[in-house]
Amino acid sequence: MWRATATYLPWRALAPVLLLILCASLFPHMEVLFRWLQPDSAQVIYDRDSFWRLLLSHAGLVLLSGAIATVVGVVSGILVTRESGRDFLPLVNNVASIGQTFPPVAVLALAVPMTGFGGAPTVVALTLYGLLPVVRNTIAGLEGVSGAVLEAARGMGMSPSQVLWKVELPLAFKVIMAGVRTSVTINIATAAIGSTIGAKTLGDPIVAGLINGNTAYVLQGAILVALLAVAADAIFERIENASA
């Protein structure tokens, strides 16, 4: 049973990645297929930029914002679960909630005057939008550690920092990773709006298709965004299972 599971999980994570690579590589050569979908359009393959460049740029923006949100979210979660920081727990929860409930488009509009057009305001919006799941799961994971386990660790002579790094964080890791997984997966779809302010993302063909009434463009961008989200989710699932 264990061997079957160990073999199944890598392939489950690898299959969406391979499909994403295949689609990004083959879309420029699939005019016949997309022509059937959009027979009246003069052009059915988005060629203002390569799909690979858009894919890598899109993934880079999500990874950068995800890394920032993870660091800020985990550090915040740790601080408010210490005795000295518990008074700030409601404040941190409220700030993180506001970040996700505030529309990303509005964040972009507010960030552009300060950071200019392109990737910077997109990273700001994605970071704020992805903060809540990380904060919530970090707090839930740390507070879910058994009090008896913590007492045993302290009884062994561990310092507070040793208890945190050697006991609390390892036990809370899977819950924290679930929050990071949710944050990144959501932001893969959200990142597409960055194309409206000049960021290079897989939203470029979607926006171009909406403006020109070209369903083929929209479908090309949407398929790649969906596959990227599925691939990322499968990779995170593999990481979570490996840590179990």
Domains and CATH numbers, the chain: 13-29+46-243 (1.10.3720.10)
Q: What is the structure's pLDDT at 237?
A: 86
What is the pLDDT averaged over residues 21-42?
89
What is the pLDDT averaged over residues 129-151?
92
What is the pLDDT averaged over residues 112-116?
81
Q: Higher-confidence residue: 130 or 113?
A: 130
Of the listed ranges 24-28, 102-106, 184-188, 203-207, the least confidently predicted one is 102-106
Instruction: Give whole-number Cα distances, 10 to 1, 22, 90, 145, 243, in Å.
Output: 15, 18, 40, 29, 14
Comparing CA positions, the residue from 180, 181, 220 lying closest to residue 202 is: 220
Contacts of 231 (CB under 8 A, 6+ apart): 13, 16, 17, 19, 20
What is the pLDDT averaged over residues 141-155?
92
Contacts of 128 (CB under 8 A, 6+ apart): 99, 100, 102, 104, 107
What is the pLDDT averaged over residues 202-210?
95
What is the pLDDT averaged over residues 235-243?
81
Please answer whether residues 52 and 204 qualify as being in contact, where contact means their C-beta atoms are separated by less than 8 angstroms: no
Return mean pLDDT, the chain. Answer: 88
Comparing CA positions, the residue from 178, 90, 100 lying closest to residue 134 is: 178
What is the pLDDT averaged over residues 143-162?
91
Rounded distance between C-alpha atoms, residue 231 and residue 19, angstroms:
9
Range with top average pLDDT, 11-25, 99-113, 207-221: 207-221
Q: What is the structure's pLDDT at 1?
A: 38
- Please name the amino acid found at residue 58: H
Is residue 4 very low, low, confident or very high in pLDDT (cuts 50, 70, 90)?
Answer: very low
Comparing CA positions, the residue from 73, 206, 75, 56 lying closest to residue 129 is: 73
What is the CB neighbour count within 10 angstroms for residue 43? 14
pLDDT at 12 over 70: no
Q: Higher-confidence residue: 186 or 104?
A: 186
Please answer whether residues 149 and 171 qualify as being in contact, where contact means their C-beta atoms are separated by less than 8 angstroms: yes
Rounded distance between C-alpha atoms, residue 244 and residue 235, angstroms:
15
Is residue 97 very low, low, confident or very high in pLDDT (cuts 50, 70, 90)?
Answer: confident
Is residue 72 very low, low, confident or very high in pLDDT (cuts 50, 70, 90)?
Answer: very high
Rounded distance between C-alpha atoms, residue 225 and residue 38, angstroms:
20
Is residue 87 very low, low, confident or very high in pLDDT (cuts 50, 70, 90)?
Answer: confident
What is the CB neighbour count within 10 angstroms for residue 122? 35
Q: Convert the pLDDT of each residue in 166-205 to its tens digit.
A: 999 999 999 999 999 999 999 999 999 999 998 999 999 9
